[in-house]
Amino acid sequence: MRVPLSWLREFVDIQLTPEQLAERLTLLGMEVKSVERWGADWQNVVIGELLTVDQHPRADRLHLTTVTVGDQVLSIVCGADNIAPGQRIPVALPGAVLPGDRHIERTEKMGVVSNGMLCSGDELRLTGDADGILILPDDTPLGVPLADLYGDVVLDVDVKPNRGDALSILGLAREVAAATRAEVRQPAVAVEEGSGPSSAERFGVDVRDPDLCPRFVGRWVSGVRVGPSPDWVQMRLLAAGQRPISNVVDASNYVMLELGKPIHTFDAASVGTGPDGRPLVVVRRARDGERLETLDHVGRELTADTLVIADPDRPLAVAGVMGGANSEVSDATTDIVIESAIFDPVSIRRTAFRLGLRSEASSRFEKGQEARMARLGADRTAQLLREWAGGQIAPGRVDTMPHEPSPARVSFRPARVNRLLGTELTADEQRELLARVGVETEPASAGDRVNVALKPNLLAVVPDLSRTLTALVPTWRRDIVVESDVAEEVARVRGYELVPSVTPDTLMPGFRASPLEVRQLVRETLAGAGLTEVVTSALVSPRHVEAFALAREVPSVEGEDQPGGDPIGVTNPLSRDHSLLRRNLLGSLLDVVATNLRHGTPDIAAFEIGKGYAHTGADVREWWRLGIALTGAAGEPAWNRVTRPYDLDDAKGVLELLARRLGLPALEYEPETAEPVFHPGRTARATAGDDLLAIVGEVHPDVADAWGLRTTQRVILAEVALRGLAAGRLAPERAHAVGRFQEVDRDLAIVVPETTPAAAVEALIRAHAGALLRDLSLFDIYRGVPLAADEKSLAYRLRLGAGDRTLTDPELEAAVAGVVAALPAIGGRRRA
Amino acid sequence: MDLAQLTSDLQSLRATATAAASAAPDTAALDALDVEVLGKKGGITAILRSIGGLPPADRPRLGAVGNEVRAAVEGAIAEARARLSRSELAARLAAESVDVTTPGRPVRRGSLHPIMETAREIADVFAQFGFVVYEGPEVEDDVTNFQMLNIPPDHPARDLWDTLYLDMEGRLLRTHTSPGQIRVMHQEGPPIRALLPGRCFRYEAVDASHASEFFQVEGLMVDEGTSMADLKGLLDQFAHAMFGAERPTRFRPGYYPFTEPSVAFDILCVICNGEKCPACSRTGWMTILGAGMVHPTVLRYGGIDPERYQGFAFGMGVERIANLRHHVVDLRQYMEDDLRFLGVFR
């Protein structure tokens, strides 16, 4: 809400500087977003008086004027027609700057020198009039900078949705008064009614849906002359951010800004008549399919939950949202029907959303309106129409709820207020604070209940009356309904800065482990291994989901949500690129690779811990995953290193490191040849017991091409399900006593057919080396002479030992011999 | 052969051997000398082999001389060996020297994402005050995300959360971590000190200060006497932990439907220190989180009696905190994942 200080001052005296006022309002909960100097962009614009106005010698449409600005007389060329000697006008001197960074210099116009410019209201952004020069009152002092006279300060106040009452100059004046202990001057609404038929005789009102329109106040003003509003009105509306339209429309906008009461005006001639021959305003739900062209000249199809203002035949306006073109006030309008109504907030909000028509009016209606304002708003509008448009106000008003509501009673216990706030304020102190915002208090009386909560259903307690007060909440404060609302008001008016600051010393909950323990260890391990953590968007494109779908998902560890089912889509996505929740991290990581390659970073080692999402019917599943991407040089290129590219084994090594740090069983691999995302010959399914389940492999060249990866390097991706990633604890590691007896290494080279996987050889060794085998590692793979072309030699180192003795040579040989004897079973032999 | 002759032979062997030892050019020459003089077939043994031809009375004398000469030669060789090995070592070390001023072999440096790390640091601060971490689902329903937080359908406050809705009846992507409050209340019951970090989603056009996916940390504390003063004290400590013990804070009214009273919590602008700059919209203050006393309606939806219990909640954007701590001005960088940006962080 834009608040010109000059307007605010009509309702309350302000002794503070604008900045001080802004801070006080902010500390009161009315956050001031900015303090704008209205007119700060007028430089070197002063008040002048026209001395002469003559025809330009060489241009029909230009005038040659002389102007005094007090200390000098200037000759200025001007194109406007509304000027005459003796008028006081704004003069932009040479060197002036106008809004829009428009610089004014001495110029020559058709052979005549012009020493500046006479300004229109629009050029100054002071009024809406662009056609003529802004004519100022005759008593405007000569030579004074325009900014000194018409400059203003505009506060931009962020009024929260619960304080619709403060969406007005009057409402904010009440807040200023509370902050500065000043008095609010109530708006002077003096309606000088004319003679003749009363409003009630002029027209009728038939509210057929009172649930959606609890109050309708109407007034009739006849004989208006529609035209521009007075300059000062236009200035004020512009400063408040409202474009001037005409005196009639401006009057309703002025009342909306001043009192917070949206008003609509109808051309009375367009309101159809009822059975008695008088115009009849009908307030009803629209009929399905009924149509109305709104003021923005868009044809709207209405539905049965839309409230309309209508005449007996047709809708005239969408209630609270926008008027209809068929009843719009025009230059020809003479008689006006003023509508000042209270509508159901939910209905207005729904309609505004459905029609995509959210306006200053609808945003006020949807926050709820004070019933009292209906009458006040109608009266004030009538008064302004009389003053600005010369109308005759018909006596009386039409009012469907002539009895004004009384203040609401909200009981509260000062002790509970203190318990909530952590303060020790006396009841009298609390009463005094509430009085500053117009909330009077009295001792609670029998029957008063303290409302602790209204929803899900009323929770009210019968209080100890001697320790309970009842607040009489003024009708505009619709936000104070339960005891804690009173507590906020007490704290707010006193100042949150006075709430004490203490360290909580209440009971601590029992121990509970953090669900982030495993995730944290994984993150630190991978960062330590040279990988960079990334965070990518969970919302991806349909193409993304499709391209990176796995034929066989990586299952989650037991007990966690399993992948599978249908992707979850967003019905109102910001873009198609972010319209589905991802099912795995593979595509997101490939995007990270692509982005960084594009940015000229060729070596990438990245990981992300994030979720996959899917649903089956109403069953939504979210599962945690670790994703890894490697490409480019393994190890940073340097003068003292021979670089080699990352390959599958690097990714497997990362998984093995994780398994070791987490104390998981050794990883086992199986070839994966049928996942379209991956290279069929360079991809593995990996498992470590049932604690780690992964797919790890090179990206299929087709996918790399389709994703436009600018690299000839291989890209390795992994998607890993890991026990504890979702929520898990790290079990303490189990120590093994280091034996006193030496363990012995025996090397064994085994020749097998090329097609025999190393995993099979390793399994055979483990099965046949006997109980003495402590550790087994592959340390070389050899192909070539003297082996056959389809053979390879795998060299293993067997660590053998017994905890209770040093092994003898025969024992060692027996262990090796056991393995060698079993080799033929897999078509292998010991390499001589 | 007589004693005098043999003694003389030994003495002259001693003289030539010690001279040879001190003149030896390298340890190999010493090895040879050792064999030649002291070995089983060496000079001393050869001379002493004649001992049998001496009168028995002279034999011990020659033996004594032999031992003395042997010891002297051994000493000379050892001394020479020590001298030579020092100089050989010195020569080897000299030959082995490298240019120590070249850069080392780089170890690839990983890094942790600033948003994840900031969330962890936030959790660490509150852990000191007994707050433990809980997590809730990201796919939420309207009831938990809004209605149980005292935001009924068609409430004007819904404008504060532009929502991404899902193609499943009543489901949406959580717009804040606040629905976790309801879940924790049901799961734990008072006393509660809970911290809820996580990913959130909004229908929000992306620019330097808005993201449609972002991370929040929510806090919740409920007990019989948990007051706004406790909230203020805790937030002060948090601000001091994250932004320095000297950083002034400001506690002012805010608005959330799920808290009453509601709080906005500011720190003095970290860019201008209150001088009023564009970064703080010329107010001198920066809002770092929203908070308030849990609305009694929310407590009831959480199964807690608001007449007996009360508490506070707070929620902050992790990106906001990270921006201020790391001087990031465009939060799009967090999810662009340019390694040149991320590589700066620990």
Q: Is the CB of A640 less than 8 angstroms away from the CB of B137?
A: no
Q: Is the CB of B108 less than 8 angstroms away from the CB of A605?
A: yes
pLDDT for residue A110:
81
pLDDT for residue B120:
97
pLDDT, tens digit, for every residue of A157-197? Answer: 999 999 999 999 999 999 999 999 999 998 878 899 999 99
Beta strands at A291-293 and A88-98: parallel, antiparallel or unpaired: unpaired
Closest Cα in chain B, distance from residue A750 (Å): 35
Side-chain half-sphere CA neighbours of A709 within 13 A: 25
> Who contacts B194 (Cβ-Cβ below 8 Å, separation ≥6)?
B131, B132, B133, B134, B180, B181, B184, B188, B219, B220, B221
Cα separations in angstroms, B40 against A454, A520, A636, B60, B182: 113, 71, 60, 20, 96
A423 inside 8 A of chain B by CB: yes
Closest Cα in chain A, distance from residue B93 (Å): 21
Q: Is the CB of A516 less than 8 angstroms away from the CB of B123?
A: yes
Q: What's the ipTM?
A: 0.91
Cα separations in angstroms, A720 against A277, A554, A555: 80, 7, 9
Nearest residue of chain A to residue B148 (CA atoms)? A456
Task: Name residues 216-235 of chain B within 8 A of A (Cβ).
Answer: 221, 223-230, 232-234
The two three-digit tokens of residue B14, written as one number: 């001693």
Closest Cα in chain B, distance from residue A327 (Å): 29
Task: State how far the Cα of A807 lies from the Cα of A819, in Å rounded to an integer.
Answer: 17
Question: pLDDT grade, residue A217 (50/70/90)?
Answer: very high
Q: Is the CB of B260 less than 8 angstroms away from the CB of A506?
A: no
- At what angle are helices A648-662 and A517-528 packed, to 10 degrees? 140
Nearest beta carbon to residue A595 from set B192, B232, B337:
B337
Nearest beta carbon to residue A599 from set B107, B133, B340:
B340
Residue A739, pLDDT above cutoff 80: no
Q: Is the CB of A482 less than 8 angstroms away from the CB of B296?
A: yes
Q: Is the CB of B338 less than 8 angstroms away from the CB of A496?
A: no
Closest Cα in chain B, distance from residue A594 (Å): 10
pLDDT, tens digit, for every residue of A314-335? Answer: 999 999 999 999 999 999 999 9
pLDDT, tens digit, for every residue of A355-375? Answer: 999 999 999 999 999 999 999
Beta strands at A280-285 and A204-207: parallel, antiparallel or unpaired: parallel
Task: State how far the Cα of B193 lies from the Cα of B207, in Å rounded to an integer.
Answer: 34
Beta strands at A604-616 and A532-533: parallel, antiparallel or unpaired: parallel
Element (H, E) at A489: helix A483-494
Q: What's the CATH superfamily of A199-399?
A: Phenylalanyl-trna Synthetase, Chain B, domain 3 (3.50.40.10)
pLDDT for residue A550:
96
Closest Cα in chain B, distance from residue A563 (Å): 15
Task: State how far the Cα of A175 lies from the Cα of A3, in Å rounded to an integer.
Answer: 13
> Who contacts B106 (Cβ-Cβ below 8 Å, separation ≥6)?
A635, A636, A638, A641
- The CA-to-CA distance between both ends of chain B, in Å, stands at 88
pLDDT, tens digit, for every residue of A38-87? Answer: 888 888 999 999 999 999 888 888 999 999 998 899 999 998 999 999 99
Structural domain spans, chain A: 2-39+154-180, 43-150, 199-399, 409-498, 517-722, 744-830
Task: State how far the Cα of A561 lies from the Cα of A541, in Å rounded to an integer.
Answer: 23
Query: Of A36, A392, A359, nearest to A193 (Cα)?
Result: A392
If one looks up domain A744-830 in CATH, what number appears?
3.30.70.380
Residue A755, pLDDT above cutoff 70: yes
- The CA-to-CA distance between both ends of chain A, in Å, stands at 91
B129 inside 8 A of chain A by CB: yes
Of A266 and B280, more confident: A266
The two three-digit tokens of residue A773, written as one number: 């085998």
A576 inside 8 A of chain B by CB: no
pLDDT, tens digit, for every residue of A194-208? Answer: 999 999 999 999 999
A530 inside 8 A of chain B by CB: yes
Q: Are B178 and B149 in contact (CB under 8 A)?
A: yes
Within 10 Å of residue A525's Cβ, how many Cβ atoms? 18
pLDDT, tens digit, for every residue of A262-298? Answer: 999 999 999 999 999 999 999 999 999 999 999 999 9
> Who contacts A305 (Cβ-Cβ below 8 Å, separation ≥6)?
A285, A347, A350, A351
The class level of CATH for A517-722 reads: alpha beta
Q: Is the CB of B228 less than 8 angstroms away from the CB of A527?
A: no
Residues on chain A touching B238 (C-beta within 8 angstroms) = none
Task: State how far the Cα of A223 lies from the Cα of A393, in Å rounded to an integer.
Answer: 9
Q: Determine the Cα angle at A779 with ends A776 and A784, to 5°.
A: 130
Residue A239, pLDDT above cutoff 90: yes
Task: State how far the Cα of A373 lies from the Cα of A405, in Å rounded to an integer.
Answer: 11
Q: Which of A574, A613, A642, A657 to mutate to test the interface with B (most CBs of B within 10 A)?
A: A574
pLDDT for residue A20:
94
SS3 content of chain B, % helix, strand, coil (to 5): 45, 20, 35
Task: State how far the Cα of A423 lies from the Cα of A825, in Å rounded to an integer.
Answer: 84
Residue A696, pLDDT above cutoff 70: yes
Residue A436, pLDDT above cutoff 80: yes
Task: Name residues 229-288 of chain B within 8 A of A (Cβ).
Answer: 229-230, 232-234, 236-237, 250-255, 257, 260-264, 281-283
Q: Is the CB of A572 less than 8 angstroms away from the CB of B203?
A: yes
* % of chain A residues with pLDDT over 90: 86
pLDDT, tens digit, for every residue of A120-153? Answer: 999 998 888 888 999 999 989 999 999 888 889 9
Q: Is the CB of A534 less than 8 angstroms away from the CB of B342?
A: yes
The two three-digit tokens of residue A539, written as one number: 């919302």
B33 inside 8 A of chain A by CB: no
Q: Is the CB of B335 less than 8 angstroms away from the CB of A455?
A: no
A with B: how many residue pairs have Cβ under 8 Å apart? 288
Element (H, E) at B51: none
Residues on chain A touching B149 (C-beta within 8 angstroms) = none
A428 inside 8 A of chain B by CB: no
Residues on chain B touching A420 (C-beta within 8 angstroms) = 227-228, 261, 293, 310
Task: Name residues 490-519 of chain A within 8 A of B (Cβ).
Answer: 491-492, 496-497, 499-504, 506-509, 512-516
Closest Cα in chain B, distance from residue A758 (Å): 30
Nearest beta carbon to residue A507 from set B159, B223, B260:
B223
Closest Cα in chain B, distance from residue A344 (Å): 11
pLDDT, tens digit, for every residue of B302-337? Answer: 999 999 999 999 999 999 999 999 999 999 999 999
Beta strands at A31-38 and A43-55: parallel, antiparallel or unpaired: unpaired
Identify the burial level of B101 via C-beta atoms within 10 angstroms of its C-beta, where 0-12 means exposed, 13-18 middle and 19 or more buried: exposed
Q: Which fold has domain A409-498?
A: Phenylalanyl-tRNA Synthetase; Chain B, domain 1 (3.30.56)
pLDDT, tens digit, for every residue of B70-105? Answer: 888 899 899 988 998 898 889 999 999 999 999 999
Please check whether the two domains, A43-150 and A744-830, share a CATH topology.
no
Q: Determine the Cα angle at B31 with ends B30 and B34, to 5°.
A: 85
Residue A803, pLDDT above cutoff 90: no
Q: Are A182 and A193 in contact (CB under 8 A)?
A: no
Q: Are A357 and A364 in contact (CB under 8 A)?
A: no
Task: State how far the Cα of A562 lies from the Cα of A557, in Å rounded to an integer.
Answer: 8
Task: State how far the Cα of B171 lies from the Cα of A618, in Å rounded to an integer.
Answer: 9
Residue A796, pLDDT above cutoff 70: yes
pLDDT, tens digit, for every residue of B105-154? Answer: 999 989 999 999 999 999 999 999 999 999 999 999 999 999 999 999 98
Task: State how far the Cα of A360 lies from the Cα of A357, in Å rounded to an integer.
Answer: 10
Handedness of CA A315, A316, A318, A319 (dihedral sign): negative
Query: Of A421, A534, A395, nearest to A486 (Cα)?
Result: A421
Task: State how far the Cα of B89 lies from the Cα of B91, in Å rounded to an integer.
Answer: 5
The two three-digit tokens of residue A134, written as one number: 């802004």
If one looks up domain A43-150 in CATH, what number appears?
2.40.50.140
Residues on chain B touching A530 (C-beta within 8 angstroms) = 107-110
Residues on chain A touching B228 (C-beta within 8 angstroms) = 420-422, 491, 499
Mean per-residue pLDDT over chain A, rounded: 94
B341 inside 8 A of chain A by CB: no
Q: Determine the Cα angle at A208 with ends A202 and A212, to 5°.
A: 110
Closest Cα in chain A, distance from residue B128 (Å): 11
The two three-digit tokens of residue B95, written as one number: 């030959």
Q: Are A548 and A584 in contact (CB under 8 A)?
A: yes
Per-residue burial over A50-88, b = 16 or more CB atoms within 10 Å of its CB, e = otherwise: beebeebeeeeebbbbbbebeeeebbbbbebeebeeebb
Q: Determine the Cα angle at A271 with ends A269 and A272, to 5°.
A: 110
Residue B1, pLDDT above cutoff 70: no
Residue A25, pLDDT above cutoff 80: yes
Residue A302, pLDDT above cutoff 80: yes
Residues on chain A touching B135 (C-beta within 8 angstroms) = 515, 727
Task: Name residues 59-88 of chain B within 8 A of A (Cβ).
Answer: none
Task: Name residues 736-795 of chain A within 8 A of B (Cβ).
Answer: none
Task: State how far the Cα of A41 lies from the Cα of A385, in Å rounded to an integer.
Answer: 32
Per-residue burial over A692-724, b = 16 or more CB atoms within 10 Å of its CB, e = otherwise: bbbbbbbbbeebbeebebeeebbbbbbbbbbbb
Cα separations in angstroms, A372 against A9, A212, A259, A376: 23, 17, 11, 7
Q: Which of B116, B120, B195, B221 to mutate to test the interface with A (most CBs of A within 10 A)?
A: B116
Of B64 and A711, more confident: B64
pLDDT for residue B209:
87
- Which architecture characterizes domain A2-39+154-180 according to CATH? 2-Layer Sandwich (3.30)
Task: State how far the Cα of A366 lies from the Cα of B154, in Å rounded to an integer.
Answer: 9
B205 inside 8 A of chain A by CB: yes
Give SS3 for A796. strand
Residues on chain B touching A160 (C-beta within 8 angstroms) = 254-255
What string of H, E and C letters represents the secondary structure of A690-752? CCEEEEEEEECHHHHHHCCCCCCCCEEEEEEEECCCCCCCCCCCCCCCCCCCCCEEEEEEEEE
Cα separations in angstroms, A167 against A30, A711, A806, B20, B108: 10, 58, 90, 112, 58
Task: Name residues 298-357 of chain A within 8 A of B (Cβ).
Answer: 345-346, 349-350
Give SS3 for B115. helix
* % of chain A residues with pLDDT over 70: 100
If you ran DSSP here, which 8-state letter would residue B149 be given?
G
Query: Of A793, A753, A755, A797, nearest to A778 (Cα)?
Result: A797
Closest Cα in chain A, distance from residue B241 (Å): 14
Q: Per DSSP, what are the bridge partners of residue A98? A: A102
A523 inside 8 A of chain B by CB: yes
A599 inside 8 A of chain B by CB: yes
